Structure 1
Amino acid sequence: MKQKETIDPERDGMHVVSAGESQAEVAYRRLEEAIVTLSLRAGAVLTEAQLIDLVGLGRTPVREALIRLAQHGLVQILPRKGVLVADISAIDIIAALDAREVLERLVVGEAAKRAGPAERIAIVEAAKAMRRTAEAGDVMGYMRLDKELDALVAQAARSPYATRAVEPLQALIRRAWYHFERRDDLVPAALHHGSLAQAIAGADSLAAMAASDALMSHLRKGLLATLDR
C-alpha cells in the first residue's frame, strides 16, 4: 500500500461549515479541497477510517461524499483496500479543458440573462475578493473564492444539468493548476474573472461568453505550456 497521507483540518480551515449544508456536502467540500490542493496527493491510498477522521464527520456522509468524488474522477474506491486518490493526467487535463470551455459558455451566458440583482452584486464582489487575494499572494484564499464564484455563477444560471456537468471539470482544472504551481498566474487569472463578473453584472450574455472564452484560453495556454516543459 502506498504511503498514507495526513491532513490537519484546523490548519487548513476545513472546520468551517456553511449555513444550510448537509453533512454529505460538508464532507464532499472538505475532501475535494484536500484533493485539489494536494493535501491528499495523487496516488495516495487512504482508509475509510482516515477519511472519517480527516473530515470530522460520520461514516454515512463520508461514504456519500466518496461516491460523488468517484463519479467526478477524483478518487477510485478500492473494495476492501481503501480509497485511491486519482493521478493527474495530461490527457485528462486537455479533455477537461475542451469540455469545460463549451459548458462554461453556456453557464455564464445563462447567468448573464437570469441573475437577480443581489446575485449580480455577489458575483462582482467575489471577483473583487479574488483580485485582492491574488495581489496578496493568498493561494488558498484565491482557490476558495474561485470555487465560490463558480458556485454563484452556477446558481444564477438556473441551468442544473450544465452546472452539474461542469463542476467536476472545474475541480480537475483547479487541481492541475495547483499541481503545476501556477502561482505566478494569480493576478492575470483574477483579471479575467473580473471581466467575466462585470459582463454578468451588466446582463450582457455575449460579453460574458467572450470573457469565458478568454479565461479558458488563458488557462489552456498556461497549463499546456507547463505540460510541454
Structure 2
Amino acid sequence: MTEDARVSGEDARVSGEDARVSGEDAIGGRVVVSLSDLAYRRLEEAIVTLSLRPGAVLTEAQMIELVGVGRTPVREALIRLAQQGLVEILPRKGVVVTAIDAIDVMAALDAREVLERLIAAEAARRAGPAERSAILAKARAMREAAQANDVNAYMRLDKELDALVAAAARSPYASRAVEPLQALIRRAWYFFDRQIDLGPAASHHVTLAQALVAGEPAAAAEASDALMRHLRSGLLAALQRE
C-alpha cells in the first residue's frame, strides 16, 4: 500500500462490536450500524480528511484491510462513494480517490446553500426537545474544539451536527441530496484551508443552533445563509492563495 493510501490501524480498524452497534447517539438511543454503513463512514472520513489523498489508488484487498470488514460491505460503500464523486471505480483494478476541482467545489456550495436553508428552517419547525438540546450541545462542543484548535475533533463534530439537524428536519430528500455536498466541501476545506481560524465558523454554528432551539425558522434560515457565506468567503480566499 502506498503512503497516501494509509490510515493508522487505530483509526481505520473496527472491532466486531463496533461493526454491529455504534453505541449511544446524541439523544441517548442505541444506533445499529450495518457493515456497509460502517465501511462507508470509515472510507469517507479517510477521504475527506485526506488520510487518503486525491489520486491515491487502492485495491479491493487494501480497502478491506483498511476498514476491517468483508468484501461485500466494502463494495457497497464504494458504490455510494462513487455516486458522491469521492472515488472513481476502476474495473478489475480497485478505486482512485478523485481530484479536488475548485469549480466543482463552488458549484457544490451553490447547491448546498439552498438545501441547508431549507433543512435549517424545517429543523426549527419540527425538532423535538431532545433533538434541540442535542443540536445545541453539539454546536457548543464545536466551539470548544475551535478554541482548542483541535481541527479533527471540530470536523467530526461538524459532520455529527449536520446529521442531527438533517434528522430533525424530517426532510429525507433534502437530507440525502445535501450529504454528498457536505462531504465534498468538507474535503475541500481540508485541502485548501485547514489553517483558517475556526472560531468564527464555530460561532455561526452556535447561532444556527440557538435559532433551532428557539423554534424560529426564519432566524434559522438566515443563520444558515450566514454560515454558507462565511464558508464561501473562506474557500474563495484560500483558492486565491493557491
- 1:63 pairs with 75, 92, 109, which one? 75
1:1-229 matched pairs, under 5 angstroms: 5-10=5-10, 12=11, 15=14, 17=18, 18=22, 19-229=31-241
Give me the TM-score of the superposition, normalised by structure 1.
0.96
Letter in 1 for 2:7: I
Deviations 1:76-133 (A, max 9, x none): 0010111010100001111011000000001111000000000000000000000111
Letter in 2 for 1:126: K
What is the root-mean-square deviation of aligned Cα atoms in Å? 1.6
How many Å apart are 1:155 and its aligned residue?
A: 0.4
* Aligned mates of 2:154, 2:45 — CA distance in 1: 12
Letter in 1 for 2:50: L
What count of residue pairs does the alignment treat as equivalent?
228
Give the 3 Å change call, closer, same or farther, for CA 13–129 of structure 1 in structure 2: farther
Letter in 1 for 2:38: V
* Aligned mates of 1:133, 1:85 — CA distance in 2: 28
Give the 3 Å change call, closer, same or farther, for CA 47–4 of structure 1 in structure 2: farther
Indicate if the aligned counterparts of 2:12 and 2:66 stay in contact, CA closer than 8 A. no
* Aligned mates of 1:63, 1:226 — CA distance in 2: 34
Letter in 2 for 1:151: A
* Aligned mates of 1:78, 1:208 — CA distance in 2: 42
Letter in 2 for 1:225: A
* Aligned mates of 2:190, 2:94 — CA distance in 1: 25
Deviations 1:162-188 (A, max 9, x none): 000000000011101111133333111
* Aligned mates of 2:121, 2:32 — CA distance in 1: 27
* Aligned mates of 1:181, 1:105 — CA distance in 2: 24
Give me the TM-score of the superposition, normalised by structure 2.
0.91
Deviations 1:20-60 (A, max 9, x none): 11111111110000000000000111001000000001111
Deviations 1:134-168 (A, max 9, x none): 11111111111000000000100000000000000
Give the 3 Å change call, closer, same or farther, for CA 208–14 of structure 1 in structure 2: farther
How many Å apart are 1:4 and its aligned residue?
A: 5.6
Q: Percent identity between the aligned chains? A: 69
* Aligned mates of 1:136, 1:3 — CA distance in 2: 29
